[in-house]
Chain A
Amino acid sequence: MHSTRRLGPGSHAGAPWYAFAMRVMALVAAASLPAVAATVRGPADIASLTAAADAVVHARVVGRESGWGSGGPSSGLIFTRVTLQPVEWWKGGAAGARVVVRVPGGSVGGLTQTVDGVSAFAAGEEVVVFLRKLGDEPGAAVYAVERLALGKFTVVTKSARAVRDRSHVSCQGCAAGEEDALPLSELRERVRRSGSAR
């Protein structure tokens, strides 16, 4: 839910070239904003994720709302409900039902709660998510993301690639570059292949 950015101490504050360089470095850093992270057991390859997930969907984020957990503020825990508009189910899924992904953390009433390592969703973002079913609500199927941030890819529309930011998660047993950026069509094919191989 929250990411990080370098805070490097410098000794040239105020110099014009320093300001320029800081701006360049900030742009570079912004391209790979890592986050506070949880520790997760791998592997996190597509086949493993597909096998573990109840559903895999290519979708667009159409809504986000944070609130306290069941029981209200006394629950002590904040959750964000992300509503997805499916483009295509690649595995499982429930036709017709609204798709809600429950993500731990969020901001309510001046407080922000962060559960490290969870997926962050932006409004309008196109995603591929590996989902674990939590239950049903009237008119909605509620899911969680499988293996925290490892179970979410962002679709870069321009290049039609699906990209995963694994810097959110400490992973024991993961290979460093394990299928983190794929053409969307290739990701779809791998999921389909893995799903049918079960």
Chain B
Amino acid sequence: MRPFAALAVLALALPAAAYERAQVNGSGPFLFWATRKHTYQIDSQGTPDAPAASAFDAVRKSFATWAQVTCSDLSFTEEPPGATDRRVGYVSGSTNHNIVLWRTRNCASASVVPPGDPCLTQGGCSNKYDCWDHDSSAIATTTTTSVTSTGEILDADMELNDSAFFFTTVDAPVCPPSAPRADCVAYDVQNTATHEAGHYLGLGHSGATDATMFAFAPSGETRKRQLHADDITGICAIYPKGGPTSVSPGVQPPQSNASSGGCSTSPRASWEMLALLAFALRAGGTGSADRRRGGAGAKEPER
């Protein structure tokens, strides 16, 4: 009976968190950013579905929503919308921007990618021909590049599938499924981008049905624009305000002083320890400039 009693006590003692964290290849290190100061760039082409100003504002609000979490200290700086190279992924030794872009053409179309091009079978058509190379039913996706051994994220790019979906920015009403228009909610940019931004930060799906990181959504949904308590608990556990970033056991935390205490935030680390560590770090004058920059060719905008 003792183990069951222990579990019951544990269930009462732990917060009812349902958030999940992403891991490299399923069982590898937890994904994390070594910085709290992020940059992103919205490709200036925007979407033909909505005015650029409103679409860009919706993306900005998505990132800002995560930045407004007071128990964390994330910040997002937008690089001016510009003509990006519209290339997702990561090239070592190059400047890699965290871009947000809409793909308006589908790579599966013979008028976009010539039949027989090796990129069709080997992959890479999206960057070569500026087209949507994922499943046509996918609304949006985020491509994340990380250091395999540590989980440190180097780059994350968000693509929205404008070749198959109609993106909107208004608050209401919900569009009829067969008749999406700009003056009703079809596929809400902010709803989609806020969820994807959670993935960008290293969160997986939550079991909390009200959470932005919950895996299911009805058509015309806008509810995920706002974060749920579970989303906030999750992001603050990874990036606690003033404290060290939570990393897998054996991985050096981004802040160099944090590792000296052997207090990398593993699943068994306590909030009390985090608070003490945060206090010690503040007392030691450790700032973001001291954070470790792991991985060859780490992303320049975060530097």
Could you tell me which A residues sit within 8 Å of B by CB distance? Answer: 1-14, 17-22, 24-26, 33-42, 52, 68-71, 73-79, 100, 102, 104-105, 107, 110-117, 120, 132, 134-137, 142, 144-148, 151, 166-167, 169-174, 176
| CB closest chain-A residue, reference B214 | A170
Stretch at the interface among B35-43, B61-69, B121-129, B282-290: B121-129
Majority SS of interface residues in chain A?
mixed
Chain B residues near A146 (CB-CB < 8 A): 135, 137
Interface presence of B145 (CB below 8 A):
yes
CB under 8 Å from chain A, chain B span 178-215: 187, 192, 195-196, 199, 203-205, 215
- Chain B 211-228: CB-based contact to A (< 8 A → 1; otherwise 0): 000011111010000000
Pick the residue among B195, B204, B270 that contacts A34 (CB under 8 A): B204
Interchain CB contact under 8 A, A116 and B141: yes
Interchain CB contact under 8 A, B138 and A4: no
- Chain B 1-45: CB-based contact to A (< 8 A → 1; otherwise 0): 011001101100111011111111111101100000000000000
Interchain CB contact under 8 A, B270 and A13: yes
Chain A residues near B196 (CB-CB < 8 A): 39
Instruction: Report B101 CB to chain A, min CB distance, Å.
Output: 14
Interchain CB contact under 8 A, A4 and B90: no
Instruction: Report A172 CB to chain B, min CB distance, Å.
Output: 5
| CB closest chain-A residue, reference B205 | A34
Interchain CB contact under 8 A, B143 and A113: yes
Give the complex CA separation of A144 and B23 in angstroms.
Answer: 23
Interchain CB contact under 8 A, A171 and B216: yes
Stretch at the interface among B74-82, B112-120, B250-258: B112-120
Count the B residues whose beta carbon is within 8 Å of the partner chain — how many?
Answer: 91
Interface presence of B241 (CB below 8 A):
no
Pick the residue among B10, B88, B119, B205 that contacts A70 (CB under 8 A): B119
Give the complex CA separation of A117 and B270 in angstroms.
Answer: 31
Can you list the 5 inter-chain pairs with the closest CB atoms, starting with the nearest?
A69-B124, A4-B204, A76-B89, A4-B20, A17-B6
Chain A residues near B28 (CB-CB < 8 A): 2, 112
Instruction: Report A160 CB to chain B, min CB distance, Å.
Output: 25
Counting chain A CB atoms within 10 Å of each CB, the highest count among B90, B218, B267 belongs to B267
Instruction: Report B183 CB to chain A, min CB distance, Å.
Output: 20
Interchain CB contact under 8 A, B219 and A173: yes
- Chain B 134-146: CB-based contact to A (< 8 A → 1; otherwise 0): 1101111111111
Give the complex CA separation of A157 and B206 in angstroms.
Answer: 29
Interchain CB contact under 8 A, B21 and A5: yes
Interchain CB contact under 8 A, A34 and B20: yes
Pick the residue among B6, B139, B195 that contacts A41 (CB under 8 A): B139
Pick the residue among B13, B88, B216, B219 that contacts A12 (CB under 8 A): B13
Chain B residues near A4 (CB-CB < 8 A): 20-23, 203-205
Instruction: Report B298 CB to chain A, min CB distance, Å.
Output: 11
Instruction: Report A182 CB to chain B, min CB distance, Å.
Output: 20
| CB closest chain-A residue, reference B164 | A41
Interface presence of B92 (CB below 8 A):
yes
Q: List 23 A-B pairs, Cβ < 8 Å.
A: A4-B23, A5-B23, A6-B20, A7-B238, A11-B270, A21-B6, A34-B20, A41-B138, A70-B124, A76-B127, A79-B123, A100-B121, A102-B123, A110-B148, A110-B149, A110-B296, A111-B90, A116-B142, A116-B199, A132-B135, A134-B120, A146-B135, A148-B134
Chain B residues near A134 (CB-CB < 8 A): 120-121
Given contacts A9-B270, A37-B204, A167-B205, contact A117 B31 (CB under 8 A): no
A37-B204, A134-B121 known, 16 other contacts, Cβ within 8 Å: A10-B268, A21-B10, A22-B268, A34-B20, A37-B199, A41-B164, A42-B137, A70-B117, A75-B89, A107-B148, A110-B296, A111-B145, A111-B148, A116-B141, A167-B205, A172-B139
